[in-house]
Amino acid sequence: MMFDFFENNPLELEKNALILYPNFFDKTRSDKYFIDLLGSVDWQQHYLTLYGQKIPFPRLMCWMGQQGASYSFSGNTFQPLGWDSTVLSIKKELEEVLNTEFNSVLLNLYRNGQDSMSWHADDEPELGAEPIIASVSLGADRTFAWKPKYGGSSKKVTLPHGSLLVMKAHFQSQFLHALPKAKHVTHHRINLTYRFIRPKGSTTAFFIK
Ligand SMILES: O=C(O)CCC(=O)C(=O)O
Ligand SMILES: [Mn+2]
């Protein structure tokens, strides 16, 4: 196990709920993961249907994970793709360090600063009451913002290449988060959010922001 707690200096951004490990993966490994995933993942454009209009999500995505669970959102239903070897090895490492288990991951590709994710919480019932979500960032630095759901000002932090952001406990029930557009960013960023989806019959409803 290459992870060293003291080298990594986790930052507690919200007490017991939002923890950032700025250098979780060293530069060599982060570069390799970024290049591997950019080439090997089946990056897809999905659409949101709103009042009969098809609106492209402002980023490319890929669902990956345990076979069998189908995901439905915005009029789409599909099976998650099987594990890519890089995605799987990152999963194993995260599970070991965080002492938990993940069975799916949402991969997002933000092609430049015009791609983004709007305010939301990952609070779908399939994730359970206080889900632990491990979010790995590779590529361009981007700002992550969060704010209390029921009033209060927003905060932000930069998510660097090779960082790990852990969202847990009351983070999804009490806060919203977003990845705002960033005018001057011209490079790609890949984000992986590892999750544990509770099996619920043969289909799993999922809502995308
Ligand atoms: O790209 C990010 O850092 C945020 C991703 C996110 O919030 C999500 O996939 O639910
Ligand atoms: Mn999220």
What pLDDT score does 203 carry?
45
What pLDDT score does 78 carry?
63
User: 137 with 189: CB under 8 angstroms?
Assistant: yes
- State how far the Cα of 145 lies from the Cα of 143, in Å rounded to an integer: 6
Domain ranges of the chain: 27-205
What pLDDT score does 3 carry?
57
Proximal ligand: closest to the CA of 104:
1
Proximal ligand: closest to the CA of 206:
1
- State how far the Cα of 111 lies from the Cα of 107, in Å rounded to an integer: 13
Neighbours of 187 (CB within 10 A): 13
Q: What does the chain come to in residues?
A: 209
- If you measure from the C-alpha of residue 112 to the centroid of ligand 1, how many angstroms do you get, rounded to a whole number? 15
User: 133 with 121: CB under 8 angstroms?
Assistant: no
- If phi > 0 it is left, if psi is from -120 to 50 it is alpha, else beta; for residue 92 that is alpha
What pLDDT score does 44 carry?
96
- Mean pLDDT, the chain, whole residue set: 90
Ligand 1 lined by 144 (C-beta under 6 Å): yes
- If you measure from the C-alpha of residue 188 to the centroid of ligand 1, how many angstroms do you get, rounded to a whole number? 14
User: Could you tell me which residues come within 8 angstroms of residue 206 by beta carbon, excluding any fewer than 6 positions away?
Assistant: 71, 72, 73, 124, 126
Class of the CATH domain delimited by 27-205:
mainly beta
Ligand 1 lined by 134 (C-beta under 6 Å): no
What pLDDT score does 71 carry?
61
Enumerate residue ranges in the chain where pLDDT < 70.
Answer: 1-8, 68-78, 199-209
What pLDDT score does 208 carry?
47
Atom of ligand 1 nearest to the CA of 122: 10
